[in-house]
Amino acid sequence: MVMSYPEIAKAPGRVPPNLADYEALRRGWSWDAVRAELELPGGLVNQANECIDRHARRAPDRLAMIWEGSDGRVERLTFEELRRLTNRFANVLRELGIARGDRVFFFADRIPELYVGVFGALKAGAIAAPLFSAFGPEPVAERVRRADGVLMVTTPRLLAKIEAIRADLPSLQHVMVIDRERGATGAHLDYMRLMDGAADEAAIEPTGAEDWSLMHFTSGTTGLPKGAAHVHGAVVGHYATGKYVLDLHPDDVYWCTADPGWVTGTSYGMFAPWSNGVTQLIYEGGFGAGKWFELIERHRVSVWYTAPTAIRMLMKAGARIPQQHDLSSLRYTMSVGEPLNPEGVVWGQEAFGLPFHDNWWQTETGAIMIANYPSVPIRPGSMGKPLPGIEAAIIDDEFRAIDEPMREGQLALRPGWPSMFRTYWKDEERYASRFKGGWYLTGDRAKRDADGYYWFVGRDDDVINTAGHLVGPFEVESVLIEHPAVAEAGVIGKPDAVAMEIVKAFVSLKDGFAPTEELRRELVGHARQRLGPGVAPREIDFLPTLPKTRSGKIMRRLLKARELGLPEGDTSTLED
Ligand code: PRX
């Protein structure tokens, strides 16, 4: 039995949770009451003002960021320092002629300049689009093209990938290089030099709640990734979930392990902690069990938001590692992005006395929608209950709510919450297709028990969830069939004990090519080089032909069923 957080919270010295009574808060919920806790000057809202400037005015010396580099270097920025740096960057952008609504891309590791850049862009009224730095050139090009990006901000390590695609990106007017070592940036704009010459003060663009702020790309079953566009008013949702789900308190040191290339790394690695005025740890490097616990100990992290794959990797590394560290600063721990197995919830409790609180949301929802809360007992394996202010339902194929407990259906949400995406960039039709019968359709299958807890069942499409990152099979197939040997490609998610799923490809070859081990390695290399290691298939199998429908569509479901030895289901549309 998992100890409920309410009991843990009663321990001496523990701060009482912000959400003391779930049902009462739900009954009395008002988004306007949340808005009243923010500044929103004259009804305007700019995320940078709510996250940075308003704290800089009240508590200029409060720490906003504790940054630790991969090499162990530590840097700290106060809210006032962040205010000035983001002003400078806004001035740099205006000087370049970047105007309101222009798409500014960021392709960088988690360095302080990435955070300065995103908020500086928001101050200038631009739309910030951060990309995962492990992407290969192809996913980067595809996303910049889709959104007609005008500026790419990157680092010397990643520059070659941009140079390789620049000629194919007519919209891209500038490439700016952040060189922390202050080397030469060649023909490109030099971030350090431009920032040196920029003024500390800047007017924040007078954006309203419905003005664009951020774009994240997300994958579907068909077609290339879509740009889910978000608005400045989303900060109301980030602030509310930071307060009630992350349970942020003024003295917390908060750490979110996600990268801003994915929505968790912006909503919860930028907006939620800073709109709550809380200090956050940012670690440039990747996973390392010993390293992560060392970071929690060294920086006295109190609230920690991570992901199931990471938790499973920590579990694999063993309970001895956390025992070697003083983790007494930790107060509250959460997980998101994939189903969190009950073992993962319980492991946290055993390893350092705190169960992981699972929560659920999507790029499109912009903020946490379903969660386990500090004052509500956890049912291990459940995603928890809807955020107060959010109406969720399990719906049937006719978009009618199913009341019966534990009956599976599609998870749906009543539209209208502040952080909801407002479009798929240049794809209104697809955006509209996500709303039916008065619901926003999540595309996830789930159940709800008699007490209102939601249980994740699976996705309703072919999108692959690998280590919490969504990968669209089409994007991978497109790159595979560019190889001269490949006739057709079908890509599936293959279950994996740690990463939930890995990307697996099946290919058939053109005449004259033999399915050799050497060719397999060459294809893996081709895909890794073009797509990057997080997206490329980890396994490739050769098949004489791929199963297709009579209309010529590759049947990924059948490939998956055969791979897993499961029943093939309805094959009536299979070509002869
Ligand atoms: O399938 C669900 C899964 O991740 C999807 C959203 O991924 P993305 O748009 O990249 O957003 C990331 C922000 C969380 C969902 O449709 N997912 C997310 N959280 C959970 C989850 N599956 C099970 N349990 C969760 N807690």
Question: Looking at the domain assignment, is residue 458 inside a domain?
Answer: no
Kindly state the DSSP code that residue 574 receives in the 8-state scheme. Answer: B
Residue nearest to atom 26 of ligand 1 (CA): 360
C-alpha of 115 from chain center? 15
My answer on whether 401 and 315 are in the same domain is: yes
Report the pLDDT value the prediction gives residue 479, as an integer from 0 to 100. Answer: 96
My answer on whether 399 and 478 are in the same domain is: no
Question: Looking at the domain assignment, is residue 356 inside a domain?
Answer: yes
Does an H or E element contain 82, and which?
Answer: helix 79-95
What atom in ligand 1 is closest to the CA of residue 458? 1
Q: Write out 541-569 in H/E/C secondary structure.
A: EECCCCCEECCCCECHHHHHHHHHCCCCC
CA of 362 to the centre of ligand 1 (A): 5
Pocket test for ligand 1, best of 238, 312, 357, 361 (most atoms within 8 A of CB): 361
**Mean pLDDT throughout 419-441?**
97
Total structural domains within the chain: 2
Residues 304, 288: Cα–Cα separation, whole Å: 15
Kindly report, residue by residue over 54-94, the tens digit of the pLDDT: 999 999 999 999 999 999 999 999 999 999 999 999 999 99
> Is 259's C-beta closer than 6 angstroms to any atom of ligand 1?
no
- Percent pLDDT > 70 in the chain is 98
CA of 322 to the centre of ligand 1 (A): 27
Question: Looking at the domain assignment, is residue 76 inside a domain?
Answer: yes
My answer on whether 535 and 405 are in the same domain is: no
More confident residue, 570 or 26: 26
My answer on whether 417 and 340 are in the same domain is: yes
Return the minimum-mean-pLDDT range out of 170-179, 226-235, 558-567: 558-567
CATH number at residue 64: 3.40.50.12780
Last residue of a domain, one of 395, 410, 444: 444
My answer on whether 418 and 304 are in the same domain is: yes
My answer on whether 411 and 511 are in the same domain is: no
Question: Looking at the domain assignment, is residue 4 inside a domain?
Answer: no
> Is 444's C-beta closer than 6 angstroms to any atom of ligand 1?
yes
Residue nearest to atom 4 of ligand 1 (CA): 337
What residues make up the domain containing 544? 464-564
My answer on whether 165 and 261 are in the same domain is: yes
Does an H or E element contain 443, and which?
Answer: strand 439-448
> Is 338's C-beta closer than 6 angstroms to any atom of ligand 1?
yes
Q: Which amino acid is at 166?
A: R
How high does pLDDT run on average in the chain?
95
The candidate with the shortest Cα–Cα distance to 171, out of 146, 197, 200, 207, is: 146
Residue nearest to atom 22 of ligand 1 (CA): 338
Pocket test for ligand 1, best of 271, 358, 456 (most atoms within 8 A of CB): 456
Report the pLDDT value the prediction gives residue 293, as an integer from 0 to 100. Answer: 97
Question: Looking at the domain assignment, is residue 1 inside a domain?
Answer: no
> Is 455's C-beta closer than 6 angstroms to any atom of ligand 1?
no
- First CA to last CA across the chain, in angstroms? 53
Kindly report, residue by residue over 307-354, the tens digit of the pLDDT: 999 999 999 999 899 999 999 999 999 999 999 999 999 999 999 999
Last residue of a domain, one of 398, 414, 444: 444
CA of 469 to the centre of ligand 1 (A): 9
My answer on whether 373 and 502 are in the same domain is: no
CATH number at residue 475: 3.30.300.30
Report the pLDDT value the prediction gives residue 3, as an integer from 0 to 100. Answer: 52
Encoding tokens for residue 216?
Answer: 């994240």
CB distance 367 to 241 below 8 Å: yes
CB distance 546 to 511 below 8 Å: no
Question: Looking at the domain assignment, is residue 574 inside a domain?
Answer: no
**Mean pLDDT throughout 196-201?**
98
Question: Looking at the domain assignment, is residue 276 inside a domain?
Answer: yes
My answer on whether 485 and 542 are in the same domain is: yes
Residues 340, 63: Cα–Cα separation, whole Å: 32
Q: How confident is the model at residue 504 (pLDDT cuts 50, 70, 90)?
A: very high
My answer on whether 248 and 284 are in the same domain is: yes
Residues 99, 126: Cα–Cα separation, whole Å: 6
Q: Which amino acid is at 322?
A: P
- At 65 the three-state DSSP class reads strand
Question: Looking at the domain assignment, is residue 6 inside a domain?
Answer: no
Kindly report, residue by residue over 458-490, the tens digit of the pLDDT: 998 999 999 999 999 999 999 999 999 999 999
What atom in ligand 1 is closest to the CA of residue 363? 9
> Is 362's C-beta closer than 6 angstroms to any atom of ligand 1?
yes
My answer on whether 206 and 353 are in the same domain is: yes
My answer on whether 308 and 430 are in the same domain is: yes
Residue nearest to atom 6 of ligand 1 (CA): 362
